[in-house]
A = this chain, B = another copy of it.
Amino acid sequence: MRPLLLASAAVLAFAAASSASAEEGMWTYDNFPIARANQTLGTNIDQAFLDRVRLSSVKFGGCSAGVVSGQGLVMTNNHCVATCVANLSTPQQQYGETGFTPKTREEERKCPGATAEILTDISDVTERMHKAGEGLEGQAFTQAREAEAGRIETEACGNEPKIRCQVVSLYRGGQFKLYKFRKYSDVRLAWAPEDRAATFGGDLDNFSFPRFAIDAAFIRLYEDGKPVETPVHFAWNADKPTEGEAVFITGNPGATQRLLTMDQLATIRDVVLPLDQLIASELRGRLIRYSEEGEDQAFIAMDPIVGVENTYKRGLGRMRALTDAQFIQAKAAAEVDFMQRYAAANGNGPDPWGALEAVQPIARELYAPTALLEGGTGLGTTSVAGGSQLFQWAKAIVRGAQERAKPSDQRLAEFADSRLPGVESGLFAERPTYPELEQIRLEWWLSKTREWLTVDSPYVRTLLGKESPEALSARVVSGTKLADPAVRRALWTGGLATVQASDDPMIQYVLSIDADARAVRTEWENKVKAPTDRASEQLAAARFAAYGDAVYPDATGTLRLTYGKVEGSDVPGQRFGAFTTFAGLWDRATGAEPFKVAPKLMAAKDRIDPNAVMDMAVSTDTIGGSSGSPAVNARGEIIGANFDSTVLTQRNAYGYDRNTNRSVIVTTQAVTVALRDVYGMDHLLTELGVSR
């Protein structure tokens, strides 16, 4: 007889191990396997290479970037400056349509609310952090550790506005490091191509290769009104890349879940991804229809649609990974290997797998209310209030006022003294908001929350009272004054009494639902986060014991270095060579969106070498957050920027699979062509040292 389906998916192979295989790993800079990388790639990098690359690596919002000149010029993806471009645009002057092409530095324009950071120091604070949580359980455990992290950050950075300190949890609590960043709060847009040149193929080609997209842009770091001097930077390499050559990617991959147990992954497969994906699909539908209502609506909805489609497709790739029997078998086999090593070493010691299994029914039950009402589960992509900007500002104002009334180490972690500058810079940024869009987001969120938690949930009764999602969202959006940054600033500086006395309906609404939101957070932290953190810490220790430091930590949005090769792919459903060229672009164009070539790019067709490489595929290990990450050759020269990966690569969240893993890079050759032959950005070419 055959084994059963569900049993067969876990057929136990004992070959796989939990240690990293060749080219796998999003390594921290202080534990990068130099020798193994050199051996695998045939390169000869050293510690000096690592230091140079690290100091040329920039964190830019949720993206990554690289310094490419001595005058603070930084390359990232065009999609990483999309919000900036949208903020600088008006319905009359849409830089997304035309590109943003200042011919002098004076015309470079500040991106509202944007900051950029460079990681300068790493030090170990594991002992202090572990000690802070000793003997504690539930929310007390979580809060004590968060308070300690806040103290460490404040001690190290004080109130210095140009430095940011962050305690980073690695190996799911196995290690804690203090990261110190040089921070730049004046970031200006220096060049962006036409949107269509960067997004050719749109959502349809997204998470695919071949791509034909120049998804690159330049920002510049300023301080005191002047470009920042950046003596350490990447040299610009405008040459055609070579198949098989080594590629290092330096960036800030957002979050992987490779160290989760199979039980934890099942919660993601059965609960987290279905909720996130199903409601995101509905928002997508609402936004698409809205965008068809007129030209202004199309402009307003463009950026949000791109965002939701991107998140959705990432989730789709993950759903596929978690329902791919072969992939899951390999994960399960690795877990069995780890369990056996652990059992051999620990006998009747604690059972972290059992502890995590026991948490799952609770996590499954609490995920929806926590994700929808408070956020911060660390598991999914659903966000409170549907991502309404006005709501987020109101929540920051309300919570900020409540929390700042307490000593720093008793506050919610995100309002510790060391974090306040970040909160303020987001809150005071001059960003346009669009009432119709805000209303669509809120209405959708209210109606989905009601649907998933049910009408009879006490939370839903607080959320809606006797109002409908439609009426409530319309009322608070039309009545609020928070679109005005001066109003936000006044409320923030006014403090709790001012906030409570405000008659702004969005502020009043956030105040009215805040107790419930705090309650779900407390429950999540007590029943899910704290026991998960504790068991994960045990697993981390066990993993070090079993595999030594040949393991790397899950991605946490902090700086990592990965390595691989320029290479095509030849697995079912994903067959392609390593490169695309401009000739391929002209060939793929149909004239209908999203396969319409951007007008300025089209006009330059005759000037462009058809064999110049646009994009390339590499085997290097990446995940969301790596967008804009510099792709660097073995000499430390920048050869491109990571901007995409294939849909099969989304399994990367749970495990690196060298066969399918392909990141997609826009080449410096393509960017050089765009600057020179399309957008006439001669002053930037000179700055990059490109001879024309």
User: Which residues does A use to contact B, with CB under 8 Å?
Assistant: 1-2, 4-7, 9-10, 12, 201, 203-205, 208, 261-263, 265-266, 269-271, 274, 277-279, 281-290, 292-293, 316, 319, 323, 328, 332, 335-336, 339-340, 343, 351, 353-354, 357, 440, 444, 450-451, 454-455, 466-468, 470-471, 590-593
- Chain B residues, CB < 8 A from A468: 592-593
- Chain B residues, CB < 8 A from A4: 10, 12, 262, 332, 335-336
CB distance from A295 to the nearest CB of B (A): 14
The interface centre, meaning the residue of A5, A271, A455 with most chain B CB atoms within 10 A of its CB, is A5
Q: Would you call A592 and B204 a contact (CB within 8 A)?
A: no
The contact sample of 10 A-B pairs, CB cut-off 8 A, is A4-B336, A5-B10, A6-B328, A7-B10, A204-B450, A204-B455, A282-B285, A285-B444, A286-B286, A289-B289
- Chain B residues, CB < 8 A from A262: 4-6
New contact pairs (15) apart from A204-B455, A281-B281, CB-CB < 8 Å: A4-B10, A4-B336, A5-B261, A5-B262, A5-B263, A5-B265, A5-B332, A6-B7, A6-B10, A7-B10, A204-B454, A271-B323, A274-B319, A279-B281, A285-B287
Within 8 Å by CB of A2, from B1, B281, B340, B353, lies B353
In the bound assembly, the distance between CA atoms of A48 and B572 in angstroms comes to 61
- Chain B residues, CB < 8 A from A293: 293
- Chain B residues, CB < 8 A from A343: 1
Q: Would you call B451 and A204 a contact (CB within 8 A)?
A: yes
- Chain B residues, CB < 8 A from A6: 6-7, 9-10, 262, 266, 328, 332
**Which residue of chain B has its CB nearest to the CB of A472?**
B592
Q: Would you call B339 and A1 a contact (CB within 8 A)?
A: yes
In the bound assembly, the distance between CA atoms of A471 and B591 in angstroms comes to 13
In the bound assembly, the distance between CA atoms of A205 and B455 in angstroms comes to 8
- Chain B residues, CB < 8 A from A319: 274
Copies assembled:
2
In the bound assembly, the distance between CA atoms of A204 and B7 in angstroms comes to 37
The interface centre, meaning the residue of A7, A12, A351 with most chain B CB atoms within 10 A of its CB, is A7
Q: Would you call B278 and A2 a contact (CB within 8 A)?
A: no
CB distance from A537 to the nearest CB of B (A): 19
Within 8 Å by CB of A285, from B5, B269, B274, B286, lies B286
**Which residue of chain B has its CB nearest to the CB of A468?**
B592
**Which residue of chain B has its CB nearest to the CB of A202?**
B455
**Which residue of chain B has its CB nearest to the CB of A313?**
B451
The interface centre, meaning the residue of A270, A278, A339, A357 with most chain B CB atoms within 10 A of its CB, is A278
In the bound assembly, the distance between CA atoms of A284 and B288 in angstroms comes to 11
**Which residue of chain B has its CB nearest to the CB of A455?**
B204
- Chain B residues, CB < 8 A from A590: 466
**Which residue of chain B has its CB nearest to the CB of A329?**
B6
In the bound assembly, the distance between CA atoms of A11 and B665 in angstroms comes to 46
CB distance from A301 to the nearest CB of B (A): 10
Within 8 Å by CB of A284, from B5, B208, B285, B323, lies B285
In the bound assembly, the distance between CA atoms of A147 and B592 in angstroms comes to 45
- Chain B residues, CB < 8 A from A290: 289
- Chain B residues, CB < 8 A from A270: 323
- Chain B residues, CB < 8 A from A470: 292
- Chain B residues, CB < 8 A from A440: 289
- Chain B residues, CB < 8 A from A204: 450-451, 454-455
CB distance from A319 to the nearest CB of B (A): 6
In the bound assembly, the distance between CA atoms of A282 and B287 in angstroms comes to 10
Within 8 Å by CB of A288, from B279, B285, B332, B335, lies B285
CB distance from A371 to the nearest CB of B (A): 17
- Chain B residues, CB < 8 A from A467: 592
- Chain B residues, CB < 8 A from A203: 451
In the bound assembly, the distance between CA atoms of A455 and B592 in angstroms comes to 13
- Chain B residues, CB < 8 A from A450: 204
CB distance from A120 to the nearest CB of B (A): 42
- Chain B residues, CB < 8 A from A466: 590-592
- Chain B residues, CB < 8 A from A284: 282, 285
Nearest 6 A-B pairs (CB), nearest first? Answer: A285-B285, A281-B281, A289-B289, A6-B10, A270-B323, A5-B262
- Chain B residues, CB < 8 A from A336: 4
- Chain B residues, CB < 8 A from A287: 285, 289
**Which residue of chain B has its CB nearest to the CB of A595?**
B455
- Given the contacts A455-B205, A592-B471, A2 and B354 also touching, CB distance less than 8 Å: yes
- Chain B residues, CB < 8 A from A357: 2, 5
**Which residue of chain B has its CB nearest to the CB of A354?**
B2
- Chain B residues, CB < 8 A from A292: 470
In the bound assembly, the distance between CA atoms of A416 and B467 in angstroms comes to 54
- Chain B residues, CB < 8 A from A277: 274, 278
CB distance from A150 to the nearest CB of B (A): 36
**Which residue of chain B has its CB nearest to the CB of A282?**
B285
The interface centre, meaning the residue of A6, A288, A336, A468 with most chain B CB atoms within 10 A of its CB, is A6
In the bound assembly, the distance between CA atoms of A468 and B590 in angstroms comes to 10
**Which residue of chain B has its CB nearest to the CB of A450?**
B204
CB distance from A605 to the nearest CB of B (A): 19
**Which residue of chain B has its CB nearest to the CB of A264?**
B5
CB distance from A270 to the nearest CB of B (A): 4
**Which residue of chain B has its CB nearest to the CB of A6?**
B10
- Chain B residues, CB < 8 A from A201: 455
CB distance from A478 to the nearest CB of B (A): 15
The interface centre, meaning the residue of A1, A201, A316, A343 with most chain B CB atoms within 10 A of its CB, is A1
CB distance from A466 to the nearest CB of B (A): 5
**Which residue of chain B has its CB nearest to the CB of A5?**
B262
Within 8 Å by CB of A282, from B282, B332, B335, B451, lies B282
CB distance from A272 to the nearest CB of B (A): 12
Q: Would you call B1 and A340 a contact (CB within 8 A)?
A: yes
**Which residue of chain B has its CB nearest to the CB of A269?**
B323
CB distance from A1 to the nearest CB of B (A): 5
- Chain B residues, CB < 8 A from A265: 5
In the bound assembly, the distance between CA atoms of A269 and B324 in angstroms comes to 12
- Chain B residues, CB < 8 A from A328: 6
- Chain B residues, CB < 8 A from A444: 285
In the bound assembly, the distance between CA atoms of A90 and B383 in angstroms comes to 41
CB distance from A569 to the nearest CB of B (A): 15
**Which residue of chain B has its CB nearest to the CB of A447?**
B288
CB distance from A572 to the nearest CB of B (A): 9
